[in-house]
Amino acid sequence: MGTFHCPLGSPFYDSDDCILCELCTAITKEEMVAATGRIRAYLQAQAERKSGFKKIAICGKGGVGKSTVVTLMGQALREEGYEVLVIDTDESNPGLYRMLGFDKEPRPLMKLLSRFSMGEPEPDTEWITRDEIPIQDIPSEYLLQKDSLKFIMVGKIMDPFEGCACTMADVTRDLMGKLKLNDKEVVLIDAEAGVESFGRGVERNCDTVLIIVEPSFESIALAEKIRYLADGIGVRMVRAILNKVPSEETRKEMVEKLAQKQVSQIGTVHLDPEISQAGFTGKALGQSKAKEEIKEITRRLLDEAKK
C-alpha cells in the first residue's frame, strides 16, 4: 500500500487537527464512503464562513486553456485595482511565466523540501512554517514581481523517477491556507489538469472554483465531476467559463449540456487566433478579443462576490 496523504493535511491519526474521519484506517469500500462523507460534511460546515472572490482555483481538462484564462483574468483584476498573485501548481506546464510576461522562472517552492543541496545554500524555511503568511513575506527568490502582478511556482517534474506530485499538492494546500490577503489582493491558482488536486485537498482553502470548459464531450463530463467535488469541499462559488467556442450554436449547446449537469456558467471566450499564435510562440498575451471577454467575465464574478 502506498503512503497515505490526508486530504485535510493532518500529520497522523488523532493529532490535534485530525477530525477522526477514519479515511486513513478504512479497509473496505463501505468504510471509505462513510469516511469521505464525514470529510464532505466537515468541509461544507467550515465553508459557511468563507465568502468573497479572493482565492480562486482555475481547473479543467488538460489543454482547455487554464493558463490563458489565469493570465487574462490576472490582467483584468489588475485593471480593476487589485494586486494579483498567480501560483503555478501544474507540475507539467512549462510556459506560464512567459505568458505572464516574465523572462525567467522563480525558484520553485519545492526547493524548500529538497533532500539535496547540490552546492546551493540551505534555504530559509522559517517563513513557510508561520501560521499566517502575508504575500510580502514570501522571499524574493521565490517570487517574481512586475508592478501589481506577482508570480510563484510550486515546482515541476524535470527528471525520470523524480517522484509524484503529492508533495507539491501538500505545499500548495498549506500555503493557500496560510496566505493572509488584504482587501485588494487576489490569488489565482493555475491548477493541474483533471481532478487529482481535489483528492489531495488543494482547493480546500479556495472560495471560488472556475472550470474552464472547451467544446468536447470529455471537457463537459469533467466539469460535472469538478462541480461535484468542489461542492463536496464546501466551495460556494463554482462557475464554468466556456473557452475556445467557435460559434453561437456551439455556445448554446454547451450551455444546455452544462445546465443538465447542474454546472452554472458565467461567460464565454470565443476561439481567438491571436491567443493560439501567442501560445505557439510562447509570447506574452497582448490585446485580443479574448482579453475583452475575460474582462467582462471578471466583472461579473466580482459583482457576484459582492452580493
CA distance 241 to 10: 33
CA distance 213 to 219: 6
- Residue 85: its pLDDT value, please? 97
Q: Which domain holds residue 199?
A: 51-306
208 with 145, same domain: the answer is yes
The sign one gets for the Cα dihedral 262, 89, 152, 98 is negative
Q: How far is CA 300 from CA 15, 92, 149, 259, 293, in A?
A: 42, 31, 21, 19, 11
Q: Is 297 helix (H, G, I), strand (E, B) or coil?
A: helix
Q: Are strands 149-153 and 144-146 parallel, antiparallel or unpaired?
A: antiparallel
62 with 2, same domain: the answer is no
- What's the number of domains the chain is made of? 2
121 with 253, same domain: the answer is yes
Last-in-domain residue among 28, 49, 70: 49
CA distance 297 to 301: 6
172 with 39, same domain: the answer is no
108 with 154, same domain: the answer is yes
CB-hemisphere CA count at 13 Å for 244? 13
Q: Is 167 helix (H, G, I), strand (E, B) or coil?
A: helix
190 with 261, same domain: the answer is yes
- Residue 42: its pLDDT value, please? 74
Residue pLDDT tens, the chain, 307 long: 455 667 666 777 777 778 888 888 888 888 888 887 787 777 666 655 455 789 999 999 988 999 999 999 999 999 999 999 999 987 666 778 888 989 898 988 887 765 444 556 566 788 888 999 999 999 999 999 999 999 999 875 444 444 555 666 778 888 888 999 998 999 999 998 888 777 777 788 899 999 999 999 999 999 999 998 888 777 889 999 999 999 999 999 999 999 999 999 999 999 887 776 666 555 666 668 899 999 999 999 999 988 7
Q: Where are the alpha helices (DSSP H) in 117-247?
A: 166-178, 196-199, 217-232
10 with 40, same domain: the answer is yes
- Residue 104 DSSP code: S
55 with 36, same domain: the answer is no
42 with 155, same domain: the answer is no
Distant-in-sequence, close-in-space partners of 69: CB < 8 Å, separation ≥ 6:
58, 210, 212, 241, 243, 269, 294
- Residue 194: its pLDDT value, please? 86
CATH code of the domain containing 279: 3.40.50.300
78 with 13, same domain: the answer is no
27 with 69, same domain: the answer is no
Alpha carbon distance, N-terminus to C-terminus of the chain: 47
- Residue 122: its pLDDT value, please? 64
In this prediction the pTM is 0.80
187 with 206, same domain: the answer is yes
Last-in-domain residue among 15, 32, 49: 49
- Residue 43: its pLDDT value, please? 67
CA distance 15 to 24: 13
